[in-house]
Structure 1
Amino acid sequence: MPLVVVALGIVALLILIMGLKLNTFVALIIVSFGVALSLGMPLGDVVDTIESGLGGTLGHLALIFGLGAMLGKLITDSGGAQRIAMTLVNKFGEKNIQWAVVVASFIIGIALFFEVGLVLLIPIVFAISKQLKVSILYLGIPMAAALSVTHGFLPPHPGPTVIAGEYGADLGKVLVYGIIIAVPTVIIAGPLFTKLAKKLVPDSFNKTGNIASLGEVKTFELEDTPKFGISVFTAMLPVILIGISTIFTLIQDTMGVGENGFTHLVNLIGNASTAMLISLLVAIYTMGVARNIPIKDVMDSCSTAISQIGMMLLIIGGGGAFKQVLIDGGVGDYVAKLFDGTTMSPILLAWIIAAILRISLGSATVASLTTVGLVVPLLGQTDVDLALVVLATGAGSLIASHVNDAGFWMFKEYFGLTVKETFATWTLLETIISVVGLGFILLINVFV
C-alpha cells in the first residue's frame, strides 16, 4: 500500500536525521529516492521527478525568500528593529509591557524569519526584563507567539508562500485571511496564555535564562537608529503592497471592471516577488543610503543574509522533491480515492495530515510540503477556498513542537527551562496557535 511506503519513508527520515545526525537536506533526497523506487516509479523518471520537485519549489520561492532575507538583515543591521521595539515599549508603558512586546514582535516578525527574529528580540526582551524587574518568560511567551504566528500564517514567510504556490492559491488572499486569523490568535496564545502558563509552571517564571550562546549582540544608541515611522514602513512595505493589490482586485471583481494597463500595473506591483524587490530597494535607501552608510556596507549585509539562508533553501527544495515523489508516485491519488465521497473538508484534512507529520518529523517546512503532495489531488473535487487550505496546512505544521524540533531546544536554553517546563510553555503555546488558528480558519470558511 502506498501509505505504508510513506510511513516507512517518514520513519527512515527520522532515523537518518535524529539517529544518524545526517543533514536534513541529504536525508530528504535519500528518502525521496527510496520512496520513489518503493512506489514502483519507472527508473528513468525518478531523477526527473526529484529535480522537478526541487526546482519547482525553489523556482517559486527563491526570489521572495532571498529578497526577504536581505530586507530583514538591513532592518536589523541598521538598528531599525531595535528602534521599533524600544519605541513601542516606551509608548505602551510598564503596565502594558506585554502588549508592547506583542506589537513589536508582530511587526518585526513580518520582516524577519522566525529564528532570526528570535535571536534579535531575545536580547531586547532580556534588557526590558532587567530594567522593569519582570520575568523574562512573562515577556518571552508573547514574543514567541507573535513570531510563530507570522511565520506560520503570513506571506512573505517561506511556509505560507511556498504552500500557496504549490496549491495555486492567491497569495494576496492568503495574506488578508492570514492577518484576520493572526491577530486574535496572537492575543490568545500570547498575553492570555501567559496567565495559564503561570499557573501550570509557576517556577519557570522565576528563571533568569541564558543568552550567552548568542555571542556579542549588536546594540545601538537609540538616537543612532532610523526613525520609528520609517522603520515600521520599511518592515511592513511588502505586506502593504501585496494587500493593496489584493483589495484592488476584490474591488475590480465586485464592480466588474475589465483588465487594462493600470490593473496589470497594480497586479505587477502587488506580486510577492515585485513587492519584495521594491521593498528591498526602499530599505537600501531608508536603512542605508539616507543614513550615510556606504553602499558597500549595505551590500555586505545583503551578502551575509544570503549566505545565512543557503542551507534552509536546500532543505525547502528537498521537501519539494519529496512532495513531488508522493504526487508522481501516485500516493496523492491514492489518498484522494480513500476520501472519495467523504464529507470531510479539505481544510480539516490538510490540518490533520500536517499535524501528524509535524509531530513525527519536527520540521514545519517538511511537514507542510509533504502535506501538499497528499492533499493536492483532493482539491479538484471541491470548491473550497485554496487560501484557507494554505493556512490550514500552515496551522497544522505548527502543532506540538517537541524534542525533534530545533525551536523547542532554542526556547528551552534561552529561557533556562527544564524539559517539563518547555513542554508546558513552548509546546503548549505552539499547539494553541495551531488549534485556535484552525478554529478561525473554519469560521472564515463559513462566510466565504
Structure 2
Amino acid sequence: MPLVVVGISVLVLLLLMTKLRMNGFAALLLVAVGVALVQGIPVAEISEVLATGIGDQIGDTMLTIGLGAMVGRVMGDSGAAQRIAGRLLDLCGPRWVQVAMVLTAMLIGVTMFYEVAFIIIVPIAFTLVRVTRANLLWVGLPMSIALSTMHSFLPPHPGPTAVASTFEASAGLTLFYGLFIAVPAGAFIALLWPRLPFIKAMNPSIPKGLVSEKVFEDDEMPGMGWSLSVALLPVVLIAGAAVVDMAAAENSGPLHFVAFIGSPPIALLLTLVVSVWAFGPRIGRSLDEVSASCKSAASAMAMILLVIGAGGAFKQVLVDGGISDYIKDVTHGWSISPIILAWLIAVILRIALGSATVAVVTASGVVLPLLANSGVHPEIMVLAVSCGSIAFSHVNDPGFWMFKEYFNLSVIDAIKARTTYTTVLAILGLGGVLALEWALDLLKL
C-alpha cells in the first residue's frame, strides 16, 4: 500500500538522521532511492528522477536563496540590518517585537513566495535576536508562521492561483475572502506558538555565516532611508509586477518588461547590485569588503541548498511512484461535503507528497466534478483546497528543510515546531472556510 511506504520511509529517514546522525542530504537521497525501488520505478530511471527533483527544486530556489542571502549579509555587515531592527525596536519596543514581525511578514507575504519573503526578512530577525538576546524562535517563528499562512491561503501564490484557474474562480474574490481567514488565523498562531512550553524549551543559535557578529555604533550605520529602501526594493519590484500582471492587458510590451524585473531572481539581483554600491563605496567600504560579505553568505548557504535539493528529489520519487494517482482513486467515491472532501484530499496529498502545489493541483482535479452541482462558491472551494495544502509539513517537504536549517533545529525539534503549526493552521482554515460559506449563503451573495 503506497501510504504505508510513505510512512515507513519517513520513519527510516528520522532514524538515519537522529539515531545514526547521518547528514540530511545523504539521508534524503538514500531514502528516496529506497522508495523508488519499492514503488517500481525502473532502476535505469531512478537517477533521472532524482536529478529532475533536485533540478526542479534548486532551479526554483537557488537563485532566490543565494542572492537573498548575499543581500542580507551585505546589509548585515554594513549595519543596515541593525538600523532597521533598531527602528523596529524603537517603534514597538522589545515587548511588541513579535507583532512587528507578524505585520511585516503579512504585508510582504501577500504577494511574495514564502521562500523569497523569508530570505528578505530573516536577516532582520537574526539582527533583532542578536541585539535583544531573545530566543531565535521567539522572533523568527512568528515571521515564518505569518509567511506560511499568506503563501498557502492566498492568490497570487502558485497553489491558490492554479486552483482558482481550475475552478474558474475569481482570483480577486478569492484573495478578498481569504484575507478574512488568513489574517486572524495566521496572527493568532504566530503569537501563540512561541509561547507554548515545548517551543520555549528550544533555544537554537543563529547559523554561522548568515549574519554579522559586530554591534555597530549609531554613526557607523547607514541612514534609515537607504537601509529601508534597499530592503523594500525587491518587495516593490515583485509586488508591483503581480499588480500590473492582474491589471494590464496580456501580451503588452511593458508587461513583459515589468514581469522580467519583477521575477524574484532578477529583483534580488538588482537589489544586490544596488546594495553593493549603497553599502559599499557610498559609505566608504571597499568592494573587497563587500565581496567578502557575499562570499561568506554563499559558503553558509551551500549545505542548506543541498538539503533543500535532496528534499525535492524525495518529493519527486513520491510523485513519480504513483502515490498521487493512488490517493485520487481511493478518494474518488467518498460521499461527504465537497468543502471537507476538498480539504481532506489536499491534506492527504500534502502528507504523502510534501509539495503543497502538487497537493492542491491534484486535489482540485479530484473535486472539480463535484463543484458544478454542489452550490458551493468556487472561491470557497479554492480556499478549502489551499487550507488543506498547508497541513503536516514534514520531512518530504523542501520548505521544512529550509525552516530547519535557517533556525538551526534538529529534525525532531523542526517537526515539533513546523509540523504542528502548519497542521493547526490547516484546521483553523477549514473552520474559517465553512463559516465563510455559511455567511455567504446567509447573505445570499
Scaled by the length of structure 1, the TM-score of the pair is 0.70
Letter in 1 for 2:316: Q
Taking the TM superposition and a 5 Å limit, the aligned residue runs for 1:263-342 are 263-342=255-334
Q: Letter of the aligned partner of 1:329 in structure 2? A: G
For residue 146 of structure 1, the aligned residue among 132, 142, 148 is 142
Moved more, 432-441 or 285-294: 432-441
Residue in structure 2 matching 1:218, options 214, 221, 224: 214
The change in CA–CA distance for 1:440 and 1:287 in structure 2 (over 3 A counts) is farther
Report whether the alignment pairs 1:125 with 2:117: no
Q: State how far apart, in whole Å, the 1-side matches of 2:329 and 2:93 are.
A: 57
The CA distance in 1 between the partners of 2:62 and 2:331, in whole Å, is 34
Find the aligned partners of 1:303 and 1:438 in 2 and give their Cα distance: 44
Of the three residues 221, 243, 254, the one matched with 1:262 is 254
Residue 241 of structure 2 is aligned to residue 245 of structure 1: yes
Equivalent AA in structure 1 for residue 127 of structure 2: L
Going from structure 1 to structure 2, the CA distance change for 1:27 and 1:117 (only over 3 Å counts) comes to farther
- TM alignment of 1:54-133, pairs within 5 A: 54-92=54-92, 99-100=99-100, 110=117, 112=119, 119-126=126-133
Shift of 1:264: 1.0
Greater alpha carbon shift after TM alignment, 180-189 vs 234-243: 180-189
1:19 maps to a residue whose letter is K
Deviation at 1:249, TM superposition (A): 1.6
- The CA deviation at 1:39 is 1.0
- C-alpha displacement of 1:20: 0.9
Deviation at 1:411, TM superposition (A): 8.4
Q: Is the 8 A contact 1:89 1:101 kept in 2?
A: no
Q: Is the 8 A contact 1:336 1:375 kept in 2?
A: no
Partner Cα separation in structure 1 for residue 141 and residue 175 of structure 2: 18
Q: Which letter maps to 2:20?
A: L
User: Structure 1 residues 80 and 394, CA, compared in 2 at 3 Å: closer, same or farther?
Assistant: farther
Provide the residue aligned with 2:371 in structure 1: none
Q: 1:55-86, CA deviations, whole angstroms, 9 ceiling, x for partnerless residues? A: 12212221112111111112222211211121
2:346 is aligned with 1:350: yes
Query: 1:28 and 1:426, CA in 2 relative to 1: closer, same or farther beyond 3 A?
Result: closer
8 Å contact kept, 2:393–2:418: no
Query: Deviations 1:94-153 (Å, cap 9, x if unpaired)?
Result: 886664565578799946478766543222223xxxxxxxxx57x974x23432225535
Residue in structure 2 matched with residue 228 of structure 1 by the alignment: 224
Three-state SS of the structure 2 residue aligned to 1:148 is helix
Give the secondary structure class of the aligned counterpart of 2:389.
helix
Structure 1 residue 271: Cα displacement: 1.5
Q: Could you tell me how far apart the structure 1 residues matched to 2:12 and 2:94 are? A: 50
Query: Once the 2 structures are TM-superposed, how far is the Cα of residue 289 of structure 1 from its aligned partner?
Result: 3.0
1:318 Cα deviation after fit: 0.9
Summarize the Cα distance change of 1:239–1:381 in structure 2 as closer, same or farther, 3 Å threshold.
farther
The answer for unaligned runs of 5 or more in structure 1 is 127-135, 358-366, 413-418
Distance 1:95 1:68, change over 3 A: closer
The answer to whether the aligner puts 1:380 opposite 2:365 as a matched pair is yes
Q: AA paired with 1:219?
A: V
- % same residue: 30
Distance 1:261 1:182 in 2: 35
Quote the offset at 1:353 in angstroms: 5.2
User: Residues 105 and 121 of structure 2 are in contact (CA less than 8 Å); yes or no, is this contact kept in structure 1?
Assistant: no
- Contact 1:145–1:429, Cα closer than 8 Å, also in 2: no
Deviation, 1:169, is 8.2
Matching residue's letter, 2:292: D
CA contact under 8 A between 2:163 and 2:361: conserved in structure 1? no
Q: Is the Cα–Cα contact under 8 Å of residues 122 and 140 in structure 2 kept in the other structure?
A: no
Counterpart-to-counterpart distance in 1, 2:258 and 2:226 = 23
Distance 1:336 1:249, change over 3 A: same
Equivalent in the alignment of 2:40: 40
Distance 1:113 1:28, change over 3 A: farther
Hey, what's the Cα distance between the residues in 1 that align with 2:23 and 2:434? 37
Partners of 1:246 and 1:213 lie apart in 2 by 32
Residues 107 and 236, structure 1, Cα contact 8 Å, conserved in 2: no
Instruction: Please report how far the alpha carbon of residue 188 of structure 1 lies from its aligned counterpart in structure 2 after TM superposition.
Output: 2.2
Aligned residues: CA RMSD = 4.8
Decide whether aligned partners of structure 1 residues 85 and 51 sit closer, same or farther in structure 2, where only a CA change above 3 A counts.
same
Pairing 1:13–2:13 present: yes
Amino acid at match of 2:140: A
2:53 equivalent in structure 1: 53
> CA separation in 1, counterparts of 2:206 and 2:220?
25
Cα 1:94–1:58 shift into 2, 3 Å: closer
Residue pair 2:149, 2:425 contacting (<8 A) in 1 also:
no
Q: How does 1:18-37 map to 2 (within 5 A)?
A: 18-37=18-37
Alpha-carbon distance in 2 for matches of 1:410, 1:57: 21
Structure 2 unaligned regions, length at least 5:
109-115, 165-170, 369-377
CA distance in structure 2 between the partners assigned to 1:71 and 1:262 by the alignment = 27
Q: CA deviation at 1:290?
A: 2.0
Q: Cα distance, 1:210 vs. partner? A: 9.9
Classify 1:314/1:87 alpha carbon distance in 2 versus 1 (closer, same or farther; 3 Å). Answer: same
Q: For 1:53, give the aligned amino acid.
A: G
Query: Alpha carbons of 1:150 and 1:281: their partners in 2 closer, same or farther (altered >3 Å)?
Result: farther
The 1-side partners of 2:61 and 2:282 are apart by: 30
CA 1:298 to 1:113, structure 2 compared with 1: closer, same or farther past 3 Å? same
